[in-house]
Amino acid sequence: MTTEDTREYVLGDTEELAGEHFGYLQQLLDPQTTACLDSAGVRSGMRCLDVGAGGGSISRWLAGRGADVLAVDVDTTHLTGSPRVEVLRHDITDGVPGRDRFDLIHVRLVLMHLSRRAELLAMLADRLVPGGWLVIGEYLGPQTRVVSTPGSAEEALFHRVQQTAHAAAARAGAVSFTWAHEVDARMREAGLVNIEARSFTPTAQGGSAAALLSSNLVRQVEDLALRDGLTAEDLRAYHHLMRDPRFRAWFYEFVCTRGQRPAGGPVRFPAR
DSSP bridge pairs for 139: 254
CB of 209 to ligand SAM, least distance (A): 13
CB of 93 to ligand SAM, least distance (A): 5
CB of 124 to ligand SAM, least distance (A): 12
- Indicate if the alpha-carbon torsion angle 199, 201, 202, 208 is positive or negative: positive
Q: Which of 241, 169, 177, 168 is nearest to 211 (CA)?
A: 241
Q: Which of 113, 110, 53 is nearest to 80 (CA)?
A: 53
Q: What residues make contact with ligand SAM under the rule CB under 6 A?
A: 5-6, 9, 12, 22, 25, 52-55, 72-75, 91-93, 108-110, 113-114
Indicate the DSSP class of residue 182: T
Cα separation of 182 and 22, whole Å? 25
The closest residue (CB) to ligand SAM is: 54
Neighbours of 25 (CB within 10 A): 23
**Complex with ligand SAM: residue 69 or 109, whichever CB lies closer:** 109
**Complex with ligand SAM: residue 52 or 206, whichever CB lies closer:** 52
CB of 6 to ligand SAM, least distance (A): 5
- Indicate if the alpha-carbon torsion angle 204, 207, 209, 215 is positive or negative: positive
**Complex with ligand SAM: residue 97 or 266, whichever CB lies closer:** 97
**Complex with ligand SAM: residue 247 or 251, whichever CB lies closer:** 251
**Complex with ligand SAM: residue 108 or 258, whichever CB lies closer:** 108
**Complex with ligand SAM: residue 190 or 217, whichever CB lies closer:** 217
Angle at 11 between CA 217 and CA 128, to 5 degrees: 115
Pairing of strands 102-108, 85-89: unpaired
Pairing of strands 47-51, 102-108: parallel
CA dist 170 → 55, 92, 166, 227, 269 (Å): 23, 20, 6, 14, 31
CB of 249 to ligand SAM, least distance (A): 20
**Complex with ligand SAM: residue 26 or 205, whichever CB lies closer:** 26
CA dist 20 → 114, 161, 225 (Å): 22, 20, 20
CB of 266 to ligand SAM, least distance (A): 23
